[in-house]
Structure 1
Amino acid sequence: MNENAFWQLIGDCTPSMPDPDAELLAAALTNRLAAGPLATVIGFAEQLSCALYRLDRKEYGHDLSSDSFLYTRAAIVAAGRETYEAVLRDPQLFVPYAADLTWAENLLYVPDEAYRRITGEEWDRSTRYSYESYSNTAGWADA
């Protein structure tokens, strides 16, 4: 799955009603991914990890706990490509998500649940980029 396909899937699965914790989005994404090939699930996990990793920078999360920072970054991704790219350009756009504690923890479990549905097994997932808070060492240089 490439970056465009990732964002298209997020957009296609975004509910029309408010979904502050991304519960409906996560369920729709999981259903879509579980209906497809395993390679798509793996590709989604890679793109999700990369997107979260790119937001793992000191200008975004310097005064948040690691969990709060991770879930808030997930909320930015859940908000869609336009919001995500705007936040990358202007870190001040991250502030309202952190201030409102807008979290999308559910998004993090989408690939694992889709994998489990397809294979019947738990996934010991390893992606190129870690989405865990503070793992982007370049983003925290001189922090």
Structure 2
Amino acid sequence: MTWERFWQLIEIVGGGAGIETCAQLETGCARLTEVLACEPLGQIIGFGERLAEALHRLDQEQFGTLPITGAVLPDGSPFPQSSDHFLYTRAAVVAAGRDVYESMFHDPDRFAPFTARQCEPLLYVHEEAFELVTGTEWDRLTRYDYESCSNADGWPELRG
């Protein structure tokens, strides 16, 4: 799948600045699953690969160590992101579209507001489309690991 086609499909989610609720993102992801299930199987797999790569690229210390916007611990200190929260936040950045996604690498401060948004359902769109088309569960590993702290280039002090 080309990057151009990936970002065209992401637009279906409608995760831009006007989308603020998880329910709206879930509805957008459900629409994307339906559309993706009409694509050839290779495109569904390609979407999963592109999504994993996009999430992997955002897996960087400069984003993952930011506290959750608007949340504080009982002592008033910033509330840190958990590894799952950071993954779902990265998914929200991808759901916001290509322009927002690419802007993160030029202005990392743009990531902070996304710590208050999450888009976990985006992680499963290709898996659900795959299952609709094949009748079997997605059992593939993607080329890029998108779990938090898996990008060695993004977390220099975690390197071996």
Q: Which residue of 1 aligns with 2:89?
A: 72
**CA separation of 1:50 and 1:15: change in aligned 2, threshold 3 A:** closer
Q: Secondary structure at the match of 1:72?
A: helix
Q: Which structure is higher in strand share?
A: 2
Q: Which stretches of structure 1, 4 residues or more, deviate above 4 A after TM superposition? A: none
Deviation at 1:13, TM superposition (A): 4.5
Larger Rg: 2
Q: What does 1:100-119 correspond to in 2, within 5 Å?
A: 100=116, 102-119=117-134
Deviation at 1:87, TM superposition (A): 1.1
Cα displacement string for residues 57-83 of structure 1 (whole angstroms, at most 9, x for unaligned residues): 000002421000000000000000111
Deviation at 1:15, TM superposition (A): 7.2
Give the count of matched residue pairs. Answer: 141
Q: Please, which of 145, 153, 157 is the counterpart of residue 130 of structure 1?
A: 145
**Percent identity of equivalent pairs:** 49
**Counterparts of 1:103 and 1:136 in 2: how far apart (Å)?**
20
Q: What does 1:88-103 correspond to in 2, within 5 Å?
A: 88-98=105-115, 100=116, 102-103=117-118
Cα displacement string for residues 115-137 of structure 1 (whole angstroms, at most 9, x for unaligned residues): 00000011112111011111101
TM-score by length of 1: 0.92
Measured on the aligned residues, the alpha-carbon RMSD in Å equals 1.7
Q: Which residue of 2 aligns with 1:20?
A: 21
Q: Which residue of 2 aligns with 1:8?
A: 8
**Gapped runs of 5+ residues in structure 1?**
none
Q: What does 1:28-107 correspond to in 2, within 5 Å?
A: 28-62=31-65, 63-98=80-115, 100=116, 102-107=117-122
TM-score by length of 2: 0.82
**Counterparts of 1:72 and 1:58 in 2: how far apart (Å)?**
14
